[in-house]
Amino acid sequence: MLGRRSRNRREVFAFCGFISPWFIGFVLFAAVPLLVSLLMSMASFDLYGLKNFHWIGLAHYRLALEDPGTREALRDTAIFTAIFVPLGLVVQIGLALLVNSGTRLRSVFSAFFYLPAVIPTVVSVLLIWRIGIAGPNGLFDRVYHFFAPHGSVYWLDSQGRLILILFMVWSTAGLGMLVFLAGLQNVSRHLREAASLDGATRGQIVRTITLPLLTPVIFVQLILGLIAAAQMMIQPILLGGAVGLGGSPFFNAPAKGADLLPAHIFDVTFIGAAPGAGAALSWILFLIMLGATLVLFATGRLWVFYGSD
């Protein structure tokens, strides 16, 4: 028999072997690029092949914060996140409560709500949202004409932010609903039944029992909502108002009020071919993300309820 010590050594060895594919990828495609991007943000060079490389220190950061385009993108991102994340949470919790009450058709309905997340973003933005919902004679136009027969609204141009928020709520609701559904399975049925026997209404039960027990899930979903907002790149570009040069969606200008920071960074880096400035902006985005997450963790203990079970 092997000794205890050598068994432990073998266990650690096996563990390292099993996670090594992930670990190699983590180092090469997460840790190293993160550091390289920090170095790149302090340099100026060509997008293709690192030519004309000069160190310029923190100039990109200073220029970025002085640039009105970046400030506008920061403001748009803040407004978008402040509306999208809470609205998304409410929709997800609502759907989860709805689906959870009808047990027989639960999986059918959760499949319906999950479907938008399965369709490639390009297809759902172009076909469903640009044409079907926000396009001329689309759903919004018809409803609007019902109330104001002679007015007309260019939804994608004038209400770009609203359309973007609605699109994101629609496309992320399914996964969030599943996570809340999972959380609801941990909410004790006895507790709710006892409250109901004591004469509590459905609304009271949700407010005083279900929601407090769901706060850990709400916490996780808040962070995932922030992460989703920090990945908003293709959506503002595809939903952008006018399609310009060459017909490629790359040259769509995001609608007014919907030029989110990630899309702005993409534009600066790859269309403007300024990877150094882009890297600096992307680090600003990353630091804001980290800051927001730390604030959430710090305030979490005030309102997140980890049960005593």
Partner 1 sequence: MRIARIPILLVGAAVFVGPVVLGLGHLTHVAWGMALVNSLTIAISFTVLSTASAALAGFAFARHRVWWKNVVFLFVLSTLMVPWIVTMIPQFVIFYRLHLINTPWPWVLWGIQGTPLQIFLFRQFYASFPRELEDAAAIDGSGRLRIFWDIFVPNSKPIIAVTAVWGFILVWGDYLTQDLFFLLDPNGTLLTRITDVLPSTTQTFPTLPLALYALPPIVFFLFVQRYITQSVVRTGIKG
Residue 306 sits in the site that holds partner 1 (CB under 8 A): no
Lookup: tokens for 89: 């949470």
Q: Of residues 15, 297, 303, 305, which one binds partner 1 by CB under 8 A?
A: 15
Question: Residue 136 CB, nearest distance to partner 1 (Å)?
Answer: 7
Question: Residue 228 CB, nearest distance to partner 1 (Å)?
Answer: 10
Show contacts with partner 1 in window 248-277 (CB under 8 A): 248-250, 262, 265-266, 269-270, 275
CB 202 within 8 A of CB 192: no
Choice between 196 and 293, CB closer to partner 1? 293
Show contacts with partner 1 in window 215-244 (CB under 8 A): 216-217, 220, 224, 227, 230-231, 233-234, 242-244
HSE on the CB side for 16, CA within 13 Å? Answer: 6
Choice between 91 and 292, CB closer to partner 1? 292
Question: Residue 122 CB, nearest distance to partner 1 (Å)?
Answer: 5
3-state secondary structure of 60: helix
286 contacts: CB under 8 Å, gap ≥ 6: none
User: How many residues sit close enough to partner 1 to count as binding (CB under 8 A)?
Assistant: 85
Show contacts with partner 1 in window 17-76 (CB under 8 A): 17-19, 21-22, 24-26, 28-30, 32-34, 36-37, 40, 47-50
d(CA 135, CA 130): 5
State how far the alpha carbon of 127 is from the alpha carbons of 132, 138, 167, 223, 239, in Å: 7, 11, 12, 30, 11
Question: Residue 84 CB, nearest distance to partner 1 (Å)?
Answer: 16
Choice between 94 and 204, CB closer to partner 1? 94
Choice between 24 and 90, CB closer to partner 1? 24
Q: How many beta carbons lie within 10 A of that of residue 58, not counting itself?
A: 11
Question: Residue 217 CB, nearest distance to partner 1 (Å)?
Answer: 6
Show contacts with partner 1 in window 82-141 (CB under 8 A): 106-107, 110-111, 114-115, 117-124, 126-127, 130-131, 135-136
> What φ, ψ does residue 260 adopt, rounded to 5°?
-75, 155
Evaluated on CA atoms 168, 103, 183, 91, the torsion sign reads positive
Choice between 204 and 297, CB closer to partner 1? 297
d(CA 159, CA 258): 9
CB 219 within 8 A of CB 304: yes
Question: Residue 142 CB, nearest distance to partner 1 (Å)?
Answer: 16
145 contacts: CB under 8 Å, gap ≥ 6: 151
Distance of CA 254 to the CA centre of its chain: 18
Residue 77 sits in the site that holds partner 1 (CB under 8 A): no
d(CA 125, CA 237): 10
Question: Residue 88 CB, nearest distance to partner 1 (Å)?
Answer: 17
Q: How many beta carbons lie within 10 A of that of residue 91, not counting itself?
A: 17
Strands 43-44 and 54-55: antiparallel
Show contacts with partner 1 in window 140-199 (CB under 8 A): 178-179, 181-183, 185-186
Question: Residue 200 CB, nearest distance to partner 1 (Å)?
Answer: 25
